[in-house]
Structure 1
């Protein structure tokens, strides 16, 4: 029987709470429904147990907050059909995967691939933000990224991720940003922004973190035809208000994502998504410079795909040297 969940509003993703129980057996069974069957045991000498699980489903991935309070040993074995990205918010966890063993903490995340057994020991008071990523969506993004199927070998990531710099810092910031947006209720689960965030996260994992097929991304693609790059730009111009992903732009241009990224870097000096953001900012500026009687900054920003208004205002001010409200006021 499920507990009535009354999680503290101060915890991440508290509006998506599904489990709050002091009972270890109930916690194990309920967490298994969301992740997979596993063994869960209290650590030696542990008695305080306070399990909470909050889960926000985002399509092919889910964002989770999990805590147990006490030290626990967790043994899910092979994950089967999903990858597991785990970021401790404090404390530490001992991770064993594919013969490797290391300590994960607020500076070092773990990323377990589904092909090898996983075992963990979470220390006392070691809550985690966890991203569950379907194996099928990783394979789909891989094929879009490099234009080739993953092949017979399972795609396996290096399990340790340093979070203080490089790609690991990007991953951490994106996961924390998603958690903050969902926790405060500003971003509903159905917003197109989340599809973009999902795509961005998986492409960062595949394109910037080490894995056993990274070498297939190492070689630069040859020159891309001007026609393909023109198709990409024309598609972006025709779909500025839409929730575009880099996969959709690549598909429309007839390129894989990797070739599209190389082409934009060589010929435009920026990524496809940076080009899209620039074109959207210019479209907003043009609209605010020739406003109608009912024009508002919010309506125009949302019209051109800026779901996060605070970030939009910052980007706009950097690009044009004034706030969007100031632009609108000057042209009233």
Structure 2
């Protein structure tokens, strides 16, 4: 496991490294939200650093202060925030709640509240920002009804169990991809999928005032609605389509659409989309010219498959041969046609 004080995450995305607390306040505010910073110890050495990168409506950053600092915000307006200590601890207050955060417990901040955070010396955190309107619209699609007020998350988030641990793993994976010069988050299909995972994951992993509604059963949609969704998938399989966008396009909630697909198609909408994309990969491999340098990785990534091991297993199961064999077979057939 990396030591975040020696090899900071997101090093390719430096926003600042400074010894001036006023500069750290100003530049952090430009990335996240207006904040005020002050050093808690007299004559303490200030060595502040922020690295940050964005994926659509999600910003993830690495923040560190060598000195113990006190951070405050005005009332949050346009974003939700999750602070995840990598080293050290923080004490956060928000809306009358207080939590001590550590590498196993994050703090989640909601709009409409003031925030105050005391950082220990040499504390480093992953700081995730999610745009307010995007998260609330995403919740609306999941519920199938309007959300008229900010989502009220519980302040403390246990990162050691269940969905929260999975959500943290997704955040760490995003960080690792941002650190690569050739990371696949540059692919639109991948970026949209991961953004959807982070939004849905937070709404399911962390308790809030709509959690009970999300957990409640919902009736399945009718076959005609499922057929419209299937037609959209077939026509737009090359786009960064998410289940939330699909549900919105047919005028239903995500959960009712998923129930309809399970009843009438026998799989989820995203599983059906993966099957369509597998078929498109198969077609493209058969039509590809191996001599032109076409690779399985290139074709699979173009159709949104990011984990090549799982892709290869799914392809083998469906077509009875590895994708590399399909590519060779298609190229051999093309060569034979040209020779004749």
Q: Is the 8 A contact 2:82 2:128 kept in 1?
A: yes
Q: What residue is the counterpart of 2:335 in the other structure?
A: none
Cα RMSD of the aligned pairs, angstroms, is: 2.6
Q: What residue is the counterpart of 1:256 in the other structure?
A: 253
Cα distance per residue 1:142-195 (max 9 Å; x no partner): 2222121112x4311112211122110121011111111011122377531223
DSSP 3-state at the match of 2:87: coil
Whole-angstrom distance in 2 between the partners of 1:13 and 1:145: 32
Alignment of 1:1-332 (within 5 A): 10-44=7-41, 47-151=44-148, 153-187=149-183, 191-192=187-188, 193-268=190-265, 270-288=267-285, 291-293=288-290, 294=292, 295-306=294-305, 308=306, 311-317=307-313, 319-320=315-316, 323-329=322-328, 332=332
Q: Gapped runs of 5+ residues in structure 2?
A: 333-340
Whole-angstrom distance in 1 between the partners of 2:264 and 2:155: 35
Cα distance per residue 1:68-89 (max 9 Å; x no partner): 1222111114222211111112
Equivalenced residue count is: 321
Cα distance per residue 1:54-108 (max 9 Å; x no partner): 1213332222111112221111142222111111122221121222222111111
1:278 positional shift: 3.3
Q: Gapped runs of 5+ residues in structure 1?
A: 1-7
Q: Is the 8 A contact 1:76 1:119 kept in 2?
A: yes
Whole-angstrom distance in 2 between the partners of 1:45 and 1:123: 14
TM-score, normalised to structure 1, is 0.86
Change (3 A) 1:227 1:195: same
Change (3 A) 1:231 1:159: same
Change (3 A) 1:40 1:110: same
1:281 positional shift: 2.6
Whole-angstrom distance in 1 between the partners of 2:88 and 2:68: 10
Q: Max radius of gyration: which structure?
A: 2
